[in-house]
């Protein structure tokens, strides 16, 4: 009699377990698998979550690390390995908090990926592989003058170090050649032109070609309309000379010397 009661109790317990697993499967959408004499329950493939209250589309798991993404954004803020940026400039480029940018920059310095440049500057030691190479045009006055040759060689060396393509032409002291070179730069679609020619009569025509093409340009020695002028300010130089001459003439004894 006692053995029959024990057998009945085991069957009832097993029935409850099977019923419980069936209810678990029905409510939660999991299929439960259990051996006949094994107590642990193993859960396998998930069924449709349509019947689960509050269940939506499963969220995609992210494996990204935010601090690494921010560090990468800081490195991409440098357009080349020669560019020096301040802390404020990096923060503006990355839209990150200055405190966060400072800590990440110092970490990159410690890792050897960024160098400090001066008191407030930073310089990347990596060269971006996806940056577009700039193309600059330079038209020299002539290759006959030693000074002009030094300038040309210096520009070529600096462009090579900065990984910039430089298109070099020679104006040959000729207004006609200077105009032809301007048209050549426009056809080459350079990003900027450095034009060194001393003929005032064609300055406005050369400037018009660059302005129409939307190419910024630097005029050397002779001012051109709409250009960035690099050269002496003759008007200011004349005023400086006049002031010093007047002071010299006002000195005692200067009138006697001038007469």
pLDDT in tens, 182-234: 999 999 999 999 999 988 899 999 999 999 999 999 999 888 999 999 988 88
Task: Tell me which fold the domain 66-124 belongs to.
Answer: Arc Repressor Mutant, subunit A (1.10.10)
Average pLDDT of the chain is 80
Identify the weakest region by mean pLDDT among 40-49, 56-65, 81-90, 165-174: 40-49
Query: Residue 42 has what pLDDT?
Result: 45
Query: Residue 92 has what pLDDT?
Result: 94
Query: Which residue would you say has higher pLDDT here, 20 or 156?
Result: 156
pLDDT in tens, 165-180: 999 999 999 999 999 9
Q: Is the pLDDT of residue 58 over 80?
A: no
Q: Is the pLDDT of residue 15 over 70?
A: no
Q: Do domains 66-124 and 135-234 have the same CATH topology?
A: no
Three-class secondary structure of residue 132 per DSSP:
coil
Q: How confident is the model at residue 131 (pLDDT cuts 50, 70, 90)?
A: low
What is d(CA 236, CA 32) in angstroms, rounded to the nearest whole number? 93
Query: Residue 126 has what pLDDT?
Result: 86
Domain boundaries, the chain: 66-124, 135-234
- For the domain spanning 135-234, the CATH number is 3.40.50.2300
Q: How confident is the model at residue 41 (pLDDT cuts 50, 70, 90)?
A: very low
Does residue 118 come out as left (phi exceeding 0), alpha (psi in the -120 to 50 range) or beta?
A: left
Q: Which residue has the tokens 């921010």?
A: 70
Size of the chain, expressed as the number of residues it contains: 259
Q: Sheet harboring 228-230: ordered strands across?
A: 165-170, 135-140, 192-196, 217-220, 228-230
Q: How confident is the model at residue 31 (pLDDT cuts 50, 70, 90)?
A: very low
Query: Residue 11 has what pLDDT?
Result: 52
Does residue 59 come out as left (phi exceeding 0), alpha (psi in the -120 to 50 range) or beta?
A: beta
Average confidence (pLDDT) over 138-158? 89
pLDDT in tens, 82-128: 789 999 999 999 999 999 999 999 999 999 999 999 888 999 988 77
Q: Is the pTM of this model over 0.85?
A: no
Average confidence (pLDDT) over 45-49? 45
């Amino acid at each position: 009699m006692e053995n029959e009661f024990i057998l009945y109790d085991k069957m009832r317990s097993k029935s409850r377990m099977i019923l419980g697993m069936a209810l678990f499967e029905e409510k939660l959408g999991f299929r439960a698998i259990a051996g006949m004499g094994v107590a642990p329950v193993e859960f396998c493939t998930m069924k449709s979550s349509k019947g689960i209250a509050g269940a939506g589309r499963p969220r995609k798991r992210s494996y990204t690390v935010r601090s690494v993404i921010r560090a990468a954004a800081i490195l991409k803020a440098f357009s080349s390995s020669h560019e020096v940026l301040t802390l404020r400039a990096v923060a503006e480029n990355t839209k990150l908090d200055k405190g966060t940018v400072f800590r990440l920059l110092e970490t990159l310095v410690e890792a050897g990926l960024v160098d400090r440049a001066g008191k407030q500057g930073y310089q990347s030691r990596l060269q971006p592989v996806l940056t577009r190479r700039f193309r600059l045009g330079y038209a020299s006055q002539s290759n006959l003058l030693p000074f002009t040759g030094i300038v040309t060689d210096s520009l070529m060396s600096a462009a090579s170090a900065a990984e910039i393509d430089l298109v070099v032409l020679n104006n040959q002291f000729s207004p006609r050649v200077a105009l032809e070179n301007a048209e050549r730069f426009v056809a080459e679609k350079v990003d900027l032109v450095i034009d060194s020619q001393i003929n005032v009569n064609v300055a406005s025509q050369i400037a018009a070609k660059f302005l129409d093409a939307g190419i910024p340009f630097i005029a050397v020695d002779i001012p051109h309309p709409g250009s960035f002028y690099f050269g002496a300010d003759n008007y200011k130089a004349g005023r400086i000379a006049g002031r010093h001459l007047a002071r010299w003439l006002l000195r005692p004894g200067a009138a006697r010397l001038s007469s």
